Amino acid sequence: MEPKQILSVSYFTKSFNIVLGLVLIWRGIWYVLDAVDLQFFGGSHALTAIGGILLGFLILYLPDHDLKEIQKL
């Protein structure tokens, strides 16, 4: 039998802080990219969305020259 993991206040606090930190980073990146969109592309969301999709695929493809990470979705 596997020992049961005991949920404690410190475990919850640590997990909550990790999630909160990730959400705040994501939110900050979102706002920075919105500012870049307005400044350099005149608010053209379609153009920057397509560019972001292509850049995302490139970032996933380059390390191991496949897109297996997408199969997990």
Which has the closest alpha carbon to 56: 73, 39, 31?
73
pTM given for the model: 0.62
Rounded CA-CA distance 33/30 in Å is 5
Sorted by sequence, the CB contacts under 8 Å of residue 44 that are 6+ apart come out as: 37
Rounded CA-CA distance 53/59 in Å is 10
Domain ranges of the chain: 1-41, 43-73
From first to last of its 73 residues, what are the pLDDT tens digits of the chain?
A: 555 666 788 889 999 999 999 999 999 999 998 998 999 988 888 888 898 899 999 999 999 888 888 887 6
Measured in degrees and rounded to the nearest 5, phi and psi for residue 10 equal -70, -40
Rounded CA-CA distance 39/33 in Å is 10
Q: What integer pLDDT is reported at residue 5 of this predicted model?
A: 64
